[in-house]
């Protein structure tokens, strides 16, 4: 991503959509989605072993004066986007992520909400979500404070209820606290509670997976997001796997098989995205309906806080990755941009297609704007039975639901696809077993076909490159990925994920 110019906060001007986004908005069927405000809170009570998301590790940053300094900068950034960069937007959703937003003391949280209400055009029915940990949400005073601020949706990660797995993941809360969190939220008047679960971790058996799915459904949340476990390089969890401390990869169930069992176990719930199942409502949470452009292709996510990234008027932007540089830029009177890219052509089409696959449907009016090779890809997926033609366009078939991550990987540039497959699709060892030993021919061919893409010559070269990448040690691949990131997006974050057991102040 090109480096962003220094933009003074007081002189920032509205960002105007590039031609391709303007064409999307000019389509007669275009319906404005409104905007979503994402707020990144970089504080945590403890650090989960698997989490790659930014949180500050410096003890001094948790002092009350420094947290107040963070909120001062955050409010200035919110005002700059609401007044100047994206004026006139109706904010239909606010999402507090992190980090652990409920680790922020209550008075500072109140200041942020007051700023949002004062500076933005917040819809009266706005979906306001706060992420947290069950330990916090299980406290009546914490949930009551959030309800008083207008929060109507809570989300927390349980990830697994298997004791050994929770220990490996670094989770400190208990299954009892998860249940108590849902109970407190209901009693306080929270409209919607979401729980995050993970699957596909080393050593997991189908019986363990089924126990987790049935256990989280029994808790009675309004929705559950099921994520395939991401083995992100640099995290303690990835390092534990590399040192073979978490069991043999031979026990890992192929992704499509796990997805198939998940769809069966959740057949009595409503599927609202490829990963989200709801007990109560078919409505897609706005955090997902706006990500990657949403169903309109031009939905906006105005993201504030360190390491956050958003999309405004067809411009994709990325903030400084760590608290210090982000804060210093704002205090110097500048937007804290690390990079900014005007979306257009193939980049916009791939981003919209990626998001459409997550939502489980590809609207015909969006597909009509795709380059011809992407339209051929949709036709090919339909012939293979991964998509089904419907009146409004296409939707994922049962087979497509089982393999939607593989379809998404086909929507990103080759190196990024390689990295996604190495860290996201399954374990490195499992991929090697499939691609080099052909222990599961059907699945191996699916993986290979996704890597190759369309075209024999270029696709064959890309497949060969991926096989070579699979043979690289983690350390070498980390250096390669870091080099590419520096070339396209500037310096990498200057803090690595480590363990830190010191307790933090929390709401309220």
What is the full DSSP assignment across 340-402?
Answer: EEE--HHHHHHHHHHHHHHHTEEEHHHHTTS-HHHHHHHHHHHHTTSEEEETTEEEE-HHHHH
Spatial neighbors of 340 by CB under 8 A, at least 6 apart, are 1, 2, 4, 315, 316, 317, 318
What percent of the chain has pLDDT above 90?
A: 41
Band of the pLDDT at 493, cuts 50, 70, 90?
very low
What pLDDT, on the 0 to 100 scale, is given for residue 55? 87
Closest by CA to 384, choosing from 464, 438, 449, is: 449
Lowest mean pLDDT among 192-201, 276-285, 448-457, 478-487: 448-457
For residues 338-353, give the mean pLDDT. Answer: 83
Give me the CATH code for the 344-410 domain, please. 1.10.10
Most confident of 14-23, 81-90, 144-153: 144-153
What pLDDT, on the 0 to 100 scale, is given for residue 54? 84
Better-scored residue on pLDDT, 37 or 59: 37
Closest by CA to 494, choosing from 328, 330, 333, is: 328
Give me the CATH code for the 9-293 domain, please. 3.20.20.70
What pLDDT, on the 0 to 100 scale, is given for residue 210? 95
Pairing mode, strands 276-278 and 300-304: unpaired
Q: Is 24 in a helix, a strand, or coil?
A: helix
Closest by CA to 400, choosing from 417, 420, 416, 378, is: 378
What is the full DSSP assignment across 427-459?
Answer: -HHHHHHHHHH-SSHHHHHHHHHHHH-S-HHHH
Rounded to two decimals, the pTM is: 0.83
Lowest mean pLDDT among 290-294, 300-304, 461-465: 461-465
pLDDT of 340 over the 50 cut: yes
> What does the pLDDT look like over 410-460, one tens digit per residue?
776 655 555 555 544 444 444 455 444 444 444 444 445 544 554 556 566
Q: Which residue has the tokens 């990987």?
A: 409
Helix (H) or strand (E) holding 155: strand 153-159
C-beta of residue 301 within 8 angstroms of C-beta of residue 129: no
pLDDT of 41 over the 90 cut: yes
Pairing mode, strands 337-342 and 315-319: antiparallel
DSSP state of 3: B
Is the four-CA dihedral 452, 458, 460, 466 of positive or negative sign?
negative
Rounded Cα distance, 445 and 453, in Å: 12
Say how many C-beta atoms besides its own lie within 10 A of residue 368's C-beta.
10
Average pLDDT, the chain: 80
Q: Is 301 in a helix, a strand, or coil?
A: strand
Lowest mean pLDDT among 232-236, 275-279, 449-453: 449-453
pLDDT of 503 over the 60 cut: no
Residue boundaries of the structural domains of the chain: 9-293, 344-410, 412-489
Rounded Cα distance, 323 and 161, in Å: 33
Spatial neighbors of 239 by CB under 8 A, at least 6 apart, are none
For residues 300-321, give the mean pLDDT. Answer: 90
What is the full DSSP assignment across 188-202?
Answer: HT-SEEEEEEEE--T
Spatial neighbors of 54 by CB under 8 A, at least 6 apart, are 40, 42, 99, 306, 307, 321, 322, 493, 495
What is the full DSSP assignment across 67-98?
Answer: HHHHHHHHHHHHHHIIIIISTT-EEEEEEEEE
Long-range contacts of 323-328 (CB under 8 A, 24+ apart): 323/42, 323/56, 323/58, 323/61, 323/70, 326/73, 327/69, 327/70, 327/73
Band of the pLDDT at 487, cuts 50, 70, 90?
low
């Amino acid at each position: 991503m090109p480096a962003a110019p220094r933009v003074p906060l007081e002189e920032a001007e509205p960002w105007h959509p590039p031609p391709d986004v303007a064409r999307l908005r000019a389509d007669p069927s275009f319906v404005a989605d409104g905007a979503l405000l994402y707020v990144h809170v970089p504080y945590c009570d403890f650090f989960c072993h698997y989490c790659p998301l930014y949180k500050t590790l410096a003890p001094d940053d948790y002092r009350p004066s420094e947290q107040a300094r963070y909120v001062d900068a955050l409010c200035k950034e919110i005002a700059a986007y609401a007044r100047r960069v994206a004026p006139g937007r109706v904010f239909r959703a606010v999402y507090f992520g992190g980090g652990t937003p409920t680790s922020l003391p209550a008075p500072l949280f109140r200041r942020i909400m007051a700023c949002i209400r004062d500076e933005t055009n917040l819809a009266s029915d706005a979906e306001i979500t706060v992420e947290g940990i069950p330990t916090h949400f299980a406290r009546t005073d914490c949930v009551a404070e959030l309800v008083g601020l207008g929060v109507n949706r809570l989300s927390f990660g349980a990830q697994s209820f298997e004791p050994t797995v929770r220990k490996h993941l670094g989770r400190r809360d208990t299954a009892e606290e998860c249940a108590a969190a849902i109970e407190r939220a209901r009693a306080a008047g929270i409209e919607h509670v979401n729980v995050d679960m993970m699957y596909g971790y080393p050593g997991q058996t189908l019986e363990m997976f089924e126990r987790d799915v049935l256990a989280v459904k029994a808790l009675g949340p309004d929705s559950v997001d099921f994520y395939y476990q991401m083995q992100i390089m640099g995290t303690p969890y990835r390092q534990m796997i590399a040192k073979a401390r978490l069991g043999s990869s031979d026990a890992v169930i192929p992704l499509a098989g796990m997805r198939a069992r998940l769809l069966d176990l959740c057949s009595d719930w409503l599927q609202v995205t490829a990963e989200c199942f709801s007990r109560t409502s078919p409505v897609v949470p706005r955090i997902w309906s706006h990500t990657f452009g949403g169903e309109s292709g031009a939905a906006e996510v105005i993201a504030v806080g360190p390491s956050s990234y958003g999309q405004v008027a067809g411009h994709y932007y990325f903030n400084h990755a760590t608290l210090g540089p982000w804060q210093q830029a704002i205090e110097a009177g500048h937007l804290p941009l690390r990079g900014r890219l005007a979306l257009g052509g193939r980049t916009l089409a791939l981003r919209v297609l990626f998001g459409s696959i997550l939502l489980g449907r590809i609207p015909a009016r969006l597909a009509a704007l795709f380059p011809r090779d992407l339209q051929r890809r949709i036709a090919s997926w339909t012939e293979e039975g991964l998509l089904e033609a419907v009146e409004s366009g296409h939707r994922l078939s049962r087979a497509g639901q089982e393999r939607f991550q593989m379809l998404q990987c086909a929507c990103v540039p080759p190196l990024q696809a390689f990295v996604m497959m190495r860290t996201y699709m399954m374990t490195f060892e499992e991929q090697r077993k499939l691609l080099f030993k052909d222990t599961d021919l059907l699945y191996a061919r699916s993986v290979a076909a996704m890597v190759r893409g369309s075209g024999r010559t270029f696709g064959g070269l890309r497949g060969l490159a991926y096989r070579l990448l699979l043979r690289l040690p983690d350390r070498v691949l980390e250096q390669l990925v870091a080099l590419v990131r520096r070339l396209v997006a500037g310096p990498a974050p200057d803090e690595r994920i480590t363990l830190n057991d010191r307790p933090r102040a929390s709401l309220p």
